[in-house]
Amino acid sequence: MASLEELRTIRIAKLDLLKKAGMEAYPAKIPRDFCLADARGNFKDYESSKKPVSISGRIMAIRGQGAILFVVLDDGKSTFQAVIKKDVLDSKLFELFTNAVDIGDIISVTGTFFTTNRGEQSISVASWTMASKSLLPLPEKWHGLTDPDEKFRKRYLDFIMDLESREIFKKKAKFWHVIRNFFEGHGFLEVETPTLEVTTGGAEARPFITHHNDFDMDVYLRISVGELWQKHLIASGFQKTFEIGRVYRNEGTSPEHAQEFTNLEFYWAYADYQDGMKLVQELYQIIAKEVFGTMKFSVKGHSFDLSGDWPSIDYAEEINKQTKIDINKADNNQLMKKIKELGIEYDGNNRERLVDTLWKYCRKNISGPVFLINHPILVAPLAKSIQGKEIVQMFQPIIAGSEIGKGYSELNDPIDQRKRFEAQKKLIESGDQEAMMSDLDFVEMLEHGMPPTCGFGFGDRLFTVLIGKPLRETQMFPLMKPKK
């Protein structure tokens, strides 16, 4: 079998053949009347007109030999068969095609449409021209890119060879389109907030740090879609806002985690977490119906139906039900003992991390859809508490063992918020790299008054769960380590 370099040398020789024949190998423009999907959709009209038309695409297969060749073209939207006959095409063009063209080349063909004896929609080629000569071969048709790393490094080849990969991203584009339409239809204003921040806010995660040369100071890439900024907008009189944007978290990689991904957050003045649950349920059901065409899913070993009203489950009660430990009464040593007993790997020994670790163990066993409610205050530093209790007005949709979003009645008591930031500061000082940074400008804003508000955020994970793929496979260009 020839090496890639040997194949490249052979193709460069074919490039020289094109040049000698006076044909550009990389022209700026080629004859093309319409895309291949249009060719298929309006085939009967084009066929009956008998008028010459021009179409183009990448050659995915060449069959036949001698006086007739069958060429499969693909332009990313559809495929179409070009039939090249020696007695129809100019002899020099026919000879040039057989000697200089390879699978992987992008060409334009001009001719008339007809239907073969086998019923295949085709074009009888009267002339052709090169659009882009490929110097390297495509992956083997039936196996494509089998190395996962190569699949992500060379997405262009993956998309050329694997129709399913292409369809994932067409569906993902529709996913965000449906979401944007939903919020605009419900009177929300789309906004843009900073991606570079002096302090990170809105989530508990390790940030990326970069340097602002002009101001000569370190800044952070945001870890939420402008949660604190959107609350500034709510305080200023905007009653409904949302943002779809990229967030960055300097954390580990897993089927559900990446360092860069797309999130949405909305904020709704004069609404509480119960209003938020109703809106989120409606949104998720519309996404399922319009993007996936079903309410019933089977993914990751879970089966669930998103239709109807979703029940709620209590945070502490669910942990007690699955692990037989009461997080409201157990001390840190008892929590650590239970975690070790269950064989769970964990990082950090402060109470917030221990409780969260137990919850994550339990979460994997819940198919849903359910709303998780009544979280302890210590795991929700920005949520309004339930009066007289150490729990907050927070909700999380749980689907297929995953948290698919987080929302709450926003804390708008500046004194309480300052205390919670101080508690988070102590966690940072104790070595917790995911604790939330204090934002005293935000506290000052609250001192001017922010109306009761419900906020909620979710991201790419919802799409990955519903389509049944790891997060990395639903990112067009996931970050990869450079090859050594």
In angstroms, how far is CA 326 from the centroid of its own chain? 37
CA distances from 408 to 55, 143, 230, 375 (A): 54, 47, 14, 10
**The two structure tokens encoding residue 158:** 């993956």
Using pLDDT thresholds of 50, 70 and 90, give the confidence band for residue 300: confident
d(CA 127, CA 88): 9
Residue position matching structure tokens 């067009």: 476
d(CA 77, CA 38): 9
Which one, of 211, 202, 244, 23, lies nearest residue 127 by Cα? 23
Question: Is residue 349 over pLDDT 90?
Answer: no
d(CA 197, CA 228): 11
Which range (83-87, 307-311, 440-444) has the least confidence? 440-444
Which range (204-208, 229-233, 291-295, 331-335) has the least confidence? 204-208
The predicted pLDDT at position 219 comes to: 93
Average pLDDT in the 132-137 region?
A: 96
Using pLDDT thresholds of 50, 70 and 90, give the confidence band for residue 478: confident
The predicted pLDDT at position 424 comes to: 78
d(CA 79, CA 167): 15
CB crowding 360-376: b at 16 or more within 10 Å, else e: ebbbeebbbbbbbbbbb
Percent residues over pLDDT 70 in the chain: 97
Sequence-separated (6 or more) residues with CB below 8 Å from residue 326: 316, 320
Using pLDDT thresholds of 50, 70 and 90, give the confidence band for residue 186: very high
The predicted pLDDT at position 188 comes to: 98
Backbone angles phi, psi at 118, to 5 degrees: -90, 5
**CB count in 10 Å sphere of residue 189:** 13
Question: Is residue 256 over pLDDT 90?
Answer: no
Question: Is residue 356 over pLDDT 80?
Answer: yes
- For the entire predicted model, the pTM comes to 0.88
Question: Is residue 142 over pLDDT 70?
Answer: no
Using pLDDT thresholds of 50, 70 and 90, give the confidence band for residue 433: low
d(CA 3, CA 131): 25
Backbone angles phi, psi at 72, to 5 degrees: -95, 120
Length of the chain: 484
**CB count in 10 Å sphere of residue 277:** 21
Residue 137 corresponds to which amino acid? P
Question: Is residue 364 over pLDDT 70?
Answer: yes
Q: Which residue has the higher pLDDT, 472 or 348?
A: 472
Average pLDDT in the 435-461 region?
A: 89
At 78-123, the pLDDT tens digits run 999 999 999 999 999 999 999 999 999 999 999 999 999 999 999 9
Using pLDDT thresholds of 50, 70 and 90, give the confidence band for residue 141: low
d(CA 410, CA 418): 14
Using pLDDT thresholds of 50, 70 and 90, give the confidence band for residue 434: low
The predicted pLDDT at position 379 comes to: 80
The predicted pLDDT at position 372 comes to: 97
The predicted pLDDT at position 143 comes to: 58
Q: Which residue has the higher pLDDT, 261 or 251?
A: 261
- Range among 1-15, 281-295, 435-449 rated most confident: 281-295
Average pLDDT in the 123-151 region?
A: 86
**Average pLDDT of every residue of the chain:** 92
CA distances from 464 to 246, 260, 262 (A): 16, 15, 12
- Range among 281-295, 348-362, 366-380 rated most confident: 281-295
Average pLDDT in the 301-312 region?
A: 96
At 20-52, the pLDDT tens digits run 999 999 999 999 999 999 999 999 999 999 999
